[in-house]
A and B are shown apart, each in its own frame.
Chain A
Amino acid sequence: MCSKKIRKLSYSLAINEALHQMMEKDSSVLLIGQGVKSPWYVGNTARGLLDRFGPERVIDTPVSENAITGVAVGAAIVGMRPIVVHPRMDFMLYALDPIINEAANWHYMFGGKINVPVVFWGIINRGGEQAAQHSQALHTFFAHVPGLKVVMPSTPYDAKGLMISAIQDDNPVVFVDDRWLYRLEDDVPEELYSVPIGKGIVRREGKDITLIAISYMAVEAVKAADFLKQEQGISVEVIDLRTIKPFDKELIFESVRKTGRVILADVGWKMCGFMAEVAATLVEEMFDCLKSPIKRIALPNVPAPASRALEKHYYLNAEKIIKAVLELLKGEEVMYGVQSALL
């Protein structure tokens, strides 16, 4: 095997590289959706694809989310591997029928005779006073549906590897990324590789508390863990789930057996959110290992406000995670020497 070349690449260009490599490798792969020609819509993720693969396989579309998503599903039913992009996830709601009623059910409903290898790619855009309809993280809705897989990479390495896995998967996969991650740079191998769907990863090892996060919150969780270790001597184990459907129970269980304390950090709303599922699973299957109540960090049950004065309270970050960790450990102040000034 040749030597693996690794260099720094941004999250958006890592996705771009995955698309280039998969379209090169497999002529059945196509990209369809609004604004695939325009960085204004999809950042750098589609850079160079149109020139290289032509308008038959890189298809910019009218504003018709429902039909276009159905078109991708239909093409997948006959053996293509389409990726349909929704540059603002909010507009993906127009496409729930082809995603949920059709694609997710097709394989089961027809007794396994037809499979639907399609990627539904939804980009979370938030902040910047974009208000309620340009800000929604809707991953939980899709995770609820049998027949869909849902991935949410937080690093450039995973963004490339999970996009490749999503395209290669024989089933419908919802790929959810976040514009706040697009400029993040990290080591990314040049060759085509995949990150397995359903496998989480330990980002920081720790023994006092397990912090389970997804998507952008995994980035903030790592910052929080590093701060807590340095400033407070608190050892936080950070798990980035990477895939929320199916999610890596074994990895979580292993960590909770060690720490007995759990904080869950979501990028979506708290009410019936994805982390409620993780919490319920832990209570059902790991209750004996829990030393304290599970704590959730999630968006308040409020639509996203426009004003930056409200936004900064609405969205979550490392500071809020640190606060939550300290609150959870408050009862054990002596043990950790927590500085109450931070609370």
Chain B
Amino acid sequence: MYSKNFLISLYKTMLKIRLCEESLVEPILKGKIKTPCHLYTGEEAIATGVCAALDKNDYIFGNHRSHGHYIAKGGNLKQLIAEIYCKETGCSRGRGGSMHVVAPEVGFLGAAPIVAGTISLAVGAALASKIRGDKRVSVSFFGDGATGEGVFYESLNFAALKKLPIIFACENNFYSTHMPLRECRFKDNIYESGIPFGVPSYKIDGNNVLEVYEATKKAVEMCRIGEGPVLLEFVTYRLRGHVGPDDNIQGLHTDIRPKEEVEEWKKKDPLEIFKTFLLKKQVLTKDEIDKMKFEIESEVKEAHLFAQKSPYPNEKELCKYVFKEN
């Protein structure tokens, strides 16, 4: 059903995201990285599955937790890590930091941490695609917390009204920063949000990369033939803190998530699930996985070295980029 190469590429992307995120833990704890990093560990299947169903030309918009989206869409790893070190060689030239990564060359049009702030922007990109008739699809990645914002519902209505090629991709990790979903929302029914607006809406296991891929592929097809928008709620869990490796490590004890809950979700680690599947189906051997891991680790290490050696932005250029010169 799937080609071997395709399955391997999915796993490779997930592994790359995981190893990239985990490589940030130590420099964050040592204070080498100061920019607030919202790690994607545990949610890799979503970015990977969604972006695998998109073309390079399709558009995505991200949020505060977007390293995974950047990597999955094909952004340059060195530039990502350099941006996290806030260096001039970073994808945003050190002006954006971890929460503002961008790779327009592969259709990643920007990430921004104002919760729900980029949803309407993605709708705008979809509107442009419709006007131009270029068949591009836009994806807006946002968290469960963003569904508390009014602009989410305004955007659903407008996108539905104009039949725009947009996928609303909600990554529901059950926590809006530290507040559990049950305290933010009357019902755990985010996927139903699209229904009153006539937007086909689905709830998907966000820790199963193939399910994510299949659902997105269908949504993309609908969008391409003018049957968008589509809302996909991906159920997942972050295995690290809201910001930084672990909210408790820094002595803040702000992670109020029950230990048992975290342990339960560790058993559903998307990377482990997919690895087990690939081994069982003999797509990959353990040795091949180890080799792949070693290669990616080297690549990540190299990216860190590149970032560390890179210069900071020049103080003389503090005021550059406020406006584009006409």
The CA of A77 and the CA of B59, in the complex, are separated in Å by: 11
Residue pair B150, A78 in contact (C-beta under 8 Å): no
Q: Give the residue of B110, B126, B326 whose beta carbon is less than 8 angstroms from that of A110.
A: B110
Residue pair A98, B131 in contact (C-beta under 8 Å): no
Question: Is A281 positioned at the interface, with any CB of B under 8 Å from its CB?
Answer: no
Q: Give the residue of A61, A71, A75, A111 whose beta carbon is less than 8 angstroms from that of B96.
A: A111
Least Cβ distance of B212 to chain A in Å?
Answer: 24
Which chain A residues border B128 with CB–CB below 8 Å? 74-75, 78-80
State which of A10-18, A99-107, A208-216, A303-311 sits at the interface with chain B.
A99-107
Q: Give the residue of B93, B110, B117, B162 whose beta carbon is less than 8 angstroms from that of A77.
A: B110
Q: Give the residue of B92, B93, B102, B122 whose beta carbon is less than 8 angstroms from that of A74.
A: B122
Residue pair B324, A71 in contact (C-beta under 8 Å): no
Query: Given that A97-B151, A109-B95, A112-B324 are contacting pairs, would A73 and B124 also be in contact in the complex, using a CB cutoff of 8 Å?
Result: yes
CB-based nearest B residue for A118: B124
Query: Given that A62-B158, A102-B114, A102-B117 are contacting pairs, would A71 and B123 also be in contact in the complex, using a CB cutoff of 8 Å?
Result: yes
Residue pair A168, B326 in contact (C-beta under 8 Å): yes
Question: Is B90 positioned at the interface, with any CB of A under 8 Å from its CB?
Answer: yes
Most chain B beta-carbon neighbours within 10 Å: one of A61, A107, A109, A111: A111
Among A120-172, those with CB < 8 Å from B are 146-147, 149, 168-171
Question: Is A260 positioned at the interface, with any CB of B under 8 Å from its CB?
Answer: no
The CA of A75 and the CA of B122, in the complex, are separated in Å by: 8
The CA of A113 and the CA of B110, in the complex, are separated in Å by: 10
Residue pair A107, B90 in contact (C-beta under 8 Å): no
The CA of A79 and the CA of B59, in the complex, are separated in Å by: 13
Most chain A beta-carbon neighbours within 10 Å: one of B92, B162, B324: B324
CB-based nearest B residue for A170: B324
Residue pair A67, B155 in contact (C-beta under 8 Å): yes
Among B78-105, those with CB < 8 Å from A are 90-96, 100, 102, 104
Number of residue pairs spanning A and B whose beta carbons lie under 8 angstroms apart: 149
Q: Give the residue of A61, A102, A114, A115 whose beta carbon is less than 8 angstroms from that of B102.
A: A114
Residue pair B324, A66 in contact (C-beta under 8 Å): no
How many interface residues does chain A have, given as a range? 35 or more
The CA of A73 and the CA of B125, in the complex, are separated in Å by: 8
Question: Is B157 positioned at the interface, with any CB of A under 8 Å from its CB?
Answer: yes
Which chain B residues border A73 with CB–CB below 8 Å? 120-121, 124
The CA of A2 and the CA of B138, in the complex, are separated in Å by: 45
Residue pair A74, B121 in contact (C-beta under 8 Å): yes
Question: Is B283 positioned at the interface, with any CB of A under 8 Å from its CB?
Answer: no
Which chain A residues border B162 with CB–CB below 8 Å? 59
Residue pair B324, A80 in contact (C-beta under 8 Å): no
Question: Is B187 positioned at the interface, with any CB of A under 8 Å from its CB?
Answer: no
Q: Give the residue of B102, B127, B326 whose beta carbon is less than 8 angstroms from that of A113.
A: B102
Question: Is A22 positioned at the interface, with any CB of B under 8 Å from its CB?
Answer: no
The CA of A82 and the CA of B121, in the complex, are separated in Å by: 12
Residue pair A70, B326 in contact (C-beta under 8 Å): no
Question: Is A57 positioned at the interface, with any CB of B under 8 Å from its CB?
Answer: yes
Residue pair B158, A171 in contact (C-beta under 8 Å): no
Question: Is A119 positioned at the interface, with any CB of B under 8 Å from its CB?
Answer: no
CB-based nearest B residue for A172: B323
Question: Is A322 positioned at the interface, with any CB of B under 8 Å from its CB?
Answer: no
Query: Given that A97-B117, A107-B322 are contacting pairs, would A75 and B127 also be in contact in the complex, using a CB cutoff of 8 Å?
Result: yes
The CA of A207 and the CA of B270, in the complex, are separated in Å by: 77
**A-B contacts besides A68-B158, A112-B321, 11 pairs, CB < 8 Å:** A73-B121, A80-B131, A101-B114, A109-B92, A109-B95, A109-B96, A110-B95, A111-B90, A111-B93, A113-B104, A170-B323
Question: What are 5 pairs between A and B in contact, CB < 8 Å?
Answer: A67-B120, A73-B124, A108-B321, A114-B102, A114-B110
Q: Which 8 A-B pairs have the closest CB atoms?
A: A74-B124, A70-B120, A111-B93, A67-B154, A74-B121, A64-B154, A71-B124, A115-B324
Q: Write the residues of chain A forming the contact surface with B, with a CB cutoff of 8 angstroms.
A: 30, 56-57, 59, 61-62, 64, 66-80, 82, 97-98, 101-102, 106-115, 146-147, 149, 168-171
